[in-house]
């Protein structure tokens, strides 16, 4: 009796869901990321789904995942490039599958779970992912992260040559086109790896390569510029003072020379003291200012 009820339970769970997916909700874009041995054994599966602009909100979504995956690790909407806000969800298990349902009021959601289906035999690692066709998808994209220390990775369907991400990891990615509701998509990957280390433990951000600074740029940030400029300022002040003192002294000597060589005038004309330059009467013998005996041309 119990066995006969099982198919009915499966139909009761999944038939309404499939009917809703085919008739109501369409995904404008869905990217499925597969990260083997990232921070747990197994494969981290990430859905990044975008609803079309004409989709009325809020809307209920539901994804079927392997029951062995347990609870999803993230059911959330994206607030910005860095932050995810968790959404409440319900999980129902029937047989080998679990149905995770939730409601979103935004157009971009992120759904994550860990699939324990990674098969390991010695250094050979294999994994098969199947998109069950829950929704019509306008653009279905796949991304595969190559685990640290993995070699000889192959992906089917082919996702092109790998590119280095900003986290130092190699990624393979491609857009495979559109899928109708009920249409499945299988992605197979395999690689060689020894040891059980996880990628997250060895992540190293990639630093951008900077060009060497030019001579002008190095001179601009030279730390000794304050000392050089200070010494130059002191030197300029000292030179200016020296020129000023030298000029005053030359002017004083020239004036004294003119006074010393001024001719004397006889017959009532005034004389000039050859020592201090003060004027004196023609009949004076000594300078009235400094007392020096006046010179006369006799």
Do 175 and 273 share a domain, yes or no?
A: no
- Tell me whether residue 212 is in a domain: no
Whether residues 223 and 163 share a domain: the answer is no
Q: If pLDDT is split at 50, 70 and 90, which confidence band does 255 have?
A: low
pTM score, whole prediction: 0.63
Q: Tell me whether residue 297 is in a domain.
A: no
Residue 29 has pLDDT above 90, yes or no: yes
42 with 137, same domain: the answer is yes
- Give the range of the structural domain holding residue 224, as residue numbers without chain letter: 218-280
Same domain flag for 159 and 225? no
| 67 and 9 co-located in one domain | yes
Given a contact cutoff of 8 angstroms between Cβ atoms, the answer to whether 295 and 276 are in contact is no
- Categorize the per-residue pLDDT at 3 as very low, low, confident or very high, splitting at 50, 70 and 90: very low
| pLDDT for the residue numbered 270 | 58
Does some domain include residue 290? no
Quick check: 76 pLDDT over 70? Answer: yes
236 and 111 in a common domain: no
Pair 264, 281: CB distance under 8 Å: no
Predicted confidence band at 218 (pLDDT cuts at 50, 70, 90)?
A: low
pLDDT tens digits, residue range 142-201? 999 999 999 999 999 999 989 999 888 999 999 999 999 999 999 999 999 988 889 888
Tell me, yes or no, whether 131 and 170 share the same domain: yes
Cis geometry, peptide bond prior to residue 58 (ω within 30 degrees of 0):
yes
Distances (CA, A) of 233 to 227, 240, 274: 10, 11, 43
Number of domains in the chain: 2
Q: For residue 106, give the CATH number of its domain.
A: 2.60.40
223 and 181 in a common domain: no
Peptide bond into 157 cis (omega under 30): yes
Produce one character per residue of 12-47: b if its CB has 16 or more CB atoms within 10 Å, e if not: ebbeebbebbbeebbbbbbbbbbbbbbeeebbbbbb
Measured CA to CA, the distance from residue 109 to residue 86 in angstroms comes to 10
- Whether residues 183 and 250 share a domain: the answer is no
- Final residue of a structural domain among 191, 210, 233: 191
22 pLDDT more than 70: no
pLDDT at 263: 47
17 and 157 in a single domain? The answer is yes
Residues 74 and 36 in one domain: yes
> Which has more pLDDT, 126 or 14?
126
Q: Is residue 127 part of a domain?
A: yes
Most confident of 124-128, 242-246, 259-263: 124-128
Please tell me whether residues 185 and 129 are part of one structural domain: yes
Q: Is residue 26 part of a domain?
A: yes
Is 200 contained in some domain? no
Tell whether 287 is covered by a domain.
no
Does residue 176 fall inside a structural domain?
yes
Closest Cα to residue 111, out of 93, 128, 87?
Answer: 87
Q: What is the pLDDT at residue 273? A: 78
């Amino acid at each position: 009796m119990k066995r006969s009820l099982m198919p009915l339970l499966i139909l009761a769970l999944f038939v309404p869901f499939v009917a809703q997916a085919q008739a109501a909700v369409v995904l404008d874009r869905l990217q499925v990321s597969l990260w083997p041995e990232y921070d747990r054994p197994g494969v981290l599966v990430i859905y990044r789904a975008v609803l079309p602009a004409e989709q009325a909100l809020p809307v209920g979504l539901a994804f079927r995942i392997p029951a062995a995956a347990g609870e999803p690790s993230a059911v959330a909407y994206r607030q910005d490039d860095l932050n995810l806000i968790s959404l409440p969800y319900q999980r129902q298990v029937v047989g080998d599958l679990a149905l995770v349902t939730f409601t979103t009021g935004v157009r971009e959601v992120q759904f994550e779970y860990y699939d324990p289906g990674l098969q390991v035999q010695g250094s050979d690692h294999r994994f098969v992912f199947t998109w069950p066709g829950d929704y019509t998808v306008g653009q279905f994209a796949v991304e595969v992260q190559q685990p640290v220390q993995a070699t000889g990775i192959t992906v089917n369907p082919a996702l092109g040559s790998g590119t280095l991400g900003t986290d130092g990891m190699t990624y393979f990615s491609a857009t495979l086109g559109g899928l109708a509701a009920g249409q499945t998509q299988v992605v197979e990957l395999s690689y060689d790896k020894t040891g059980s280390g996880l990628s997250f433990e060895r992540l190293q951000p990639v630093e951008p390569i900077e060009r060497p600074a030019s001579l002008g740029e190095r001179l601009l940030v030279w730390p000794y510029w304050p000392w050089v400029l200070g010494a130059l300022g002191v030197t300029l002040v000292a030179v200016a003072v020296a020129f000023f003192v030298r000029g005053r002294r030359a002017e004083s000597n020239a004036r004294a020379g003119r006074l010393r060589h001024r001719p004397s005038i006889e017959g009532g004309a005034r004389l000039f003291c050859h020592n201090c330059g003060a004027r004196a009467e023609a009949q004076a013998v000594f300078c009235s200012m400094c007392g020096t005996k006046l010179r006369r041309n006799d």
